[in-house]
Chain A
């Protein structure tokens, strides 16, 4: 590695909710232009890690830096949001229920004083495979996958440098997923974007990411190159279990027990 300033840097970060430790001493560096994956069991703290960066989780200890600048408290200013955008795991919750899609996409542009909004909105919708016909609909008039695509369009519309993606394609069918993943790769190549991508789909993570971290119980238990995961060069039992389970369902297996044989 060079001594260039990492895009993201976490050192000894802790997050606690009423004494419950959702993140425990998490340290992590993500280089500028890198695509970094986060995997791990449900409730292990993946979303919390992204939320801590976005100022949406109570950090009780540790330091967080974005492009070398230390983030303090939970306030994130306008400059932060111009650099860092997040796609939330639960798109319904992150879209305003009584605003049209047009307004959801317009708001970030207006806040950041961007003009020529109309062509940008149309382009953003088109990029995620939604025609102009969706522009004046409300979130409840969309399917689950269509809502997810609006959330992705909204994150991309400001052309941020760092994207935090929480299960961005888990609500999409394989064909739309492929289109969205290709789009994300293409903008990364064009604009040198940095990604942190959470996904439980190891196919998606290894396709998109150079390196990844495996989380368990609020901690990072292993950090490895995606190629090592693919080749089975794995250091912990938990990671190995994840690999085996991703092969599919086996009747009568109870879902466990067949991991080691």
Chain B
């Protein structure tokens, strides 16, 4: 079985005033029709890795890889028009800052409708119905009200779900979800994960789930990559996360505040220089 996505030796760097900054270094993994989690230190390159797969890195970023392929298509040599078409139809990414990524001057509903209409020929009326259904599916309580609101008029969690609704309505084969539930309360979080889970199980979607929430990742994903300083330092079955080997991962687990455990101050990581190598 050939994987849907192959990433081999991905590197992303920036020119800065103090020299070249290597944000992602030698990242390799493959993805099938599964839920792959990516966790890691803030600034370790998780979002940039996702953006590189989408072709959404900033112009100042220098992206190289031995191989970056989706369904046999070489993404590094694909012309911009083909990448744009892929992005529209087959690859989607829920960005980390949902409100910033939504168009501030267009209502939530219209943004979802327009996304749908660039993918499918549907009447205006049907598009509206489907957008409302999708908002309801992501547990928006009053879809008709939220449909007409602008991004600055919705709460953090509502914006995040609007963004998820917009990405899902395009029916992607591969979805990269960057902290998709970080603003959601736990009950809604589980509903949204339920939707993503069904898309993977029933429709064979591939999912890259970037999150710092170890509890969620270990209960939801199949496999987890742990990133530190631009590298993958550990790959582990999600259910085994509690038995991680790398000191960063182990330290990470120890830092989580748990109700009922009085630890003041919380343990912090003693970051070793050799972890960066």
**Partner-B contacts on A (CB < 8 A):** 17, 20, 39-43, 47-48, 89-90, 92-93, 133, 136, 140-146, 149, 166-167, 170-179, 181-182, 185-186, 200-204, 206-207, 229-231, 241-242, 245-246, 248-251, 253-256
Contacts and interface: CB of A to CB of B under 8 A. Distances in A.
A90 B18 CA distance: 29
Nearest to B267: A178
Interface in B165-191: 179, 182-191
Contacts of B158: 42-43
Interface in B185-240: 185-194, 197, 212, 214-216, 218-220
Given A144-B96, A172-B212, A41 B183 contact: no
B183 A89 contact: yes
Contact of A185 (B39, B212, B214, B265): B265
A193 B92 CA distance: 43
Contacts of B258: 203
B190 A256 contact: yes
A202 B186 contact: yes
Given A39-B185, A248-B215, A145 B193 contact: no
A129 to B, nearest CB: 8
B89 interface: no
A182 B267 CA distance: 9
A170 B185 CA distance: 11
Interface in B46-63: 47, 58
Contacts of B276: none
A253 B214 contact: no
Given A93-B99, A140-B58, A241-B187, A204 B257 contact: yes
Contacts of B14: 141
B97 A17 contact: no
B157 interface: yes
A253 B99 contact: no
A47 B155 contact: yes
Nearest to A177: B255
B260 interface: yes
Contacts, number: 174
A261 B215 CA distance: 22
Contacts of B272: none
Chain B interface category by residue count = 35 or more
Interface in B241-277: 248, 251-253, 255-260, 263-269
A255 B259 contact: no
21 contacts: A42-B185, A43-B141, A47-B155, A90-B100, A142-B43, A144-B179, A145-B42, A146-B43, A170-B183, A172-B212, A174-B212, A176-B41, A177-B255, A179-B268, A201-B257, A207-B266, A241-B187, A249-B197, A249-B216, A253-B190, A256-B190
Contacts of B99: 90, 92-93
B232 to A, nearest CB: 15
A40 B17 contact: no
Interface string B7-36: 000000010011000000000000000000
B103 interface: no
A254 B187 contact: no
A172 B189 CA distance: 17
Contacts of A171: 42, 96, 179, 182, 212
A242 B179 contact: no
Contacts of A133: 18
B121 interface: no
Nearest to A45: B155
Contacts of B47: 143-144
Contacts of A241: 187
